[in-house]
Amino acid sequence: MRPTPSGIWQSPYPLLTLASMQWAANTVAGRLAVGEISPMLLASLRWGLVLLVLIAFDARSIRAELPVLRPRWKLLFLLGTAGYTAFTAFFFAAAHHTTGANMSIIQGAMPFFVFTLAFVTRGRRVRLAQALGMVFGVAGVALVATRADPEVIRTLSFNLGDLFMIGATISYAIYTVWLEDRPSVSSLTLFTALAAVALVTSIPLTLIEAATAGTFWPTPKGWLITLLVAIFPSFLAQVFYIRGVELIGPGRAGIFVNLIPVFGAAMAVAFLGEPFGWYQGVGLALVMAGIVLAQKR
């Protein structure tokens, strides 16, 4: 991606941290979007906006690299559907049936699914340091999600929404592992193809939403949220993540997902007025320790 400074573009850790930070902001935006726009319409509109920006930004390079993309259309369909459309659909469905604590804890297990898929499909072994990194990361996520409150832990229960969240986590793990097989094109061109797949496959879900629950068209605030979601978590974060996986592989990149609930809690304090607790600081320390351990070869 030519406009990105070469120093940052060659540094996976800042890229992956920024991606996680923007995805955490997506959680806050999702809360602010309630009552402003219906969920699946938000998903379709954001991918439509992203696609327009991508085509306008670098149409010449995209056209030049299309011959490389066409033979890999099956892989592109898998990546766009699993990583973008299926994850979003499962995530929104989970939000209607389970608690935020359960969603954060299950999402914190994503590195486990990434390592497991990489082992089953590619024979990659999980080193002791990586296993410890997963344990530290999940512990940090669980601490933040439960607010270190024994009563929250005691009353945790699992339901249909948790199964949806597991589906979301597995979907993004599939995307992460198979992203290594990406065609030899620029990250921007690859993301354009995936955004096109996400738009096409999200439209049927939007139509189903309209036929069942009804479509709530965006208010002025809803349009602003849609624009911000399209630019940051849907565009920049995805490109940064694609580059991060390219630089250090899916297993080591996937562990950065554990930063999302920690950043999300901090942003909830800053933008939603929620209180800050000691458990958030400890949770961040555990997640960072897990990331450092997972990077050891």
Total tally of structural domains belonging to the chain: 1
> What's the chain's average pLDDT?
82
**Residue tagged 């999702």 (tokens):** 30
Q: Is residue 57 part of a domain?
A: yes
Domain, as residue range, for 271: 11-294
Backbone angles phi, psi at 96, to 5 degrees: -90, -5
- Among 20, 86, 95, which Cα is nearest to 266's? 20
**What is the token pair recorded at 234?**
């849907």
The pLDDT tens digits for 258-284 are 788 778 777 777 776 666 677 777 777
Does the pLDDT of residue 3 top 50, yes or no?
no
> Does residue 223 or residue 293 have the better pLDDT?
223
Model confidence at 26: pLDDT above 60? yes
Phi, psi of 37 (to 5 degrees): -165, 145
Would 267 be classed as within a structural domain? yes
Residue showing tokens 């379709």: 44
Is 241 inside a domain boundary? yes
Quick check: 18 pLDDT over 90?
Answer: yes
Please provide the distance, in angstroms rounded to a whole number, between the alpha carbons at the two ends of the chain: 28
Instruction: Give the model's pLDDT for residue 76.
Output: 95
Instruction: Please indicate, yes or no, if residue 6 is contained in any of the structural domains.
Output: no
State residue 102's pLDDT score: 65
Please write the tens of the pLDDT for every residue from 163-174: 888 898 899 899
pLDDT greater than 50 at residue 159: yes
Assess if residue 3 is contained within a domain. Answer: no
* pLDDT (average), residues 236-240: 90
Distance of alpha carbon 213 from alpha carbon 209, whole angstroms:
5
